Amino acid sequence: MDSKSFQKPFFLGIGGSGMSSLAFLLLSKGFEVSGYDGKNSGIVGKLILNGANVFHKSDILEVENYSIAVYSSAIRLDNHPLVKKFKEKGIPLIHRSELLHKIMSEKKQISIAGSHGKTTTTAMTAFLLEKCGMSPSVMVGGEVAFLGGKGGVWGKGEWGVFESDESDGTFNNHYAEMRILTNVDEDHLDYYQTRENLLNAFVRYMEGASRRLILNLDDIGIRDSIKLIHDHSKILGFSKYKNPDEFTSGLSRNSEKSKDDLKNSDIAGAEKLLRFCTASIQIKLCITQYNPEFCIFIFKKRIFFFSKISRGTLLKKCFGGDPGLF
């Protein structure tokens, strides 16, 4: 499939967080987006305002008007009312992850994955790139304030930043050269069945980075996964501790503490984020060209304040946020 075959996509369950974000991205790219959703939610209303055609009844659709049908892992293909219609007309069905990766292949890609915190980390990475004037393409599984409450946008720049979903294994369907991994917990075992299968999936994700892999060395799950990786040459680790465990020997890392010693997990999270975002993307211009005394980033209902302190380290104070997000 080339990009022309995506020009008129139809989304099955367009109001879902990942589906709506991809729909917003395609709308901003100029695609003619349509979809079906049984609920008339706020995000569906926002999609309509941005040009999407959304249907709430499946029996009135003429499916031959669309080039592809997009579905997520939440859609039951065996009993969805529209799937049979699309199959009868010979219209291809494509998983949203596959469509995302085909579209993002036009960009240099930065993928963010992890059991927790990937949505916030993706949004903040995109925010930094945007404030650097790099106009990134973005796909986040949530509503982002600086994107006007949308979760996706097609930018004019060369970089694409997107959140990768590990819940169904589809985070291994792409070829992002830059990858950030926040943590690995024993989550989604209903899909993976065993912890070994889960770790192996994350190992495949990590080994897929062709340029740089950024890892949180304080996370036990990531530590266990690293032991299964043979080539550490692309890894850049980060830690709030001056001397991480001996297993990290040979990894490139910035282990110097700030004068505040980073005992506060909020502070540590922000410092980590800015370190690995800057290093992984290799955009030092972000720190040199856009370094205000005070910058405010708003994601959903959380407000993050970044203020400059010694040696360029950034201190984060989070009001109403969860330290575990990072």
pLDDT tens digits, 38-90:
888 999 999 999 999 999 887 767 888 899 999 998 888 888 889 989 999 99
Query: pLDDT tens digit string along 215-267?
Result: 888 888 888 888 888 888 888 776 666 555 544 444 444 434 333 433 444 44
**Distance between CA 277 and CA 296 in Å, rounded?**
17
Chain centroid to CA 5: how far?
A: 24
Query: By C-alpha distance, which of 286, 283, 325, 315 is closest to 110?
Result: 283
Res. 272 pLDDT band, cuts 50 70 90 = very low
**Residue 245: predicted pLDDT:** 55
Query: By C-alpha distance, which of 13, 187, 8, 2 is closest to 96?
Result: 13
Q: What is the DSSP letter of 248?
A: G
Contact 113, 173 (CB under 8 A): no
As a three-state string, the secondary structure of 127-185 is HHHHHCCCCCEEEEEEEEHHHCCEEEECCCCCEEEEECCCCCCHHHCCCCCEEEECCCC
Contact 251, 235 (CB under 8 A): yes
Res. 167 pLDDT band, cuts 50 70 90 = confident
Query: By C-alpha distance, which of 195, 199, 197 is closest to 229?
Result: 199
Query: By C-alpha distance, which of 303, 244, 308 is closest to 271?
Result: 308
Which amino acid appears at position 224 of this protein?
D
Nearest 5°: phi and psi at 131? Answer: -70, -15
List of domains in the chain: 3-96 (3.40.50.720), 107-325 (3.40.1190.10)
**What is the number of alpha carbons within 13 Å of residue 184 lying toward its C-beta?**
23
Nearest 5°: phi and psi at 90? Answer: 70, 25
**Distance between CA 205 and CA 163 in Å, rounded?**
13
First-to-last CA distance in the chain? 37
Chain centroid to CA 58: how far?
A: 31
Mean per-residue pLDDT over the chain, rounded: 76
**Distance between CA 182 and CA 215 in Å, rounded?**
7
Residue with the two structure tokens 């959304």 = 54
Cα separation values, 140 from 22, 112, 202, Å: 8, 10, 20
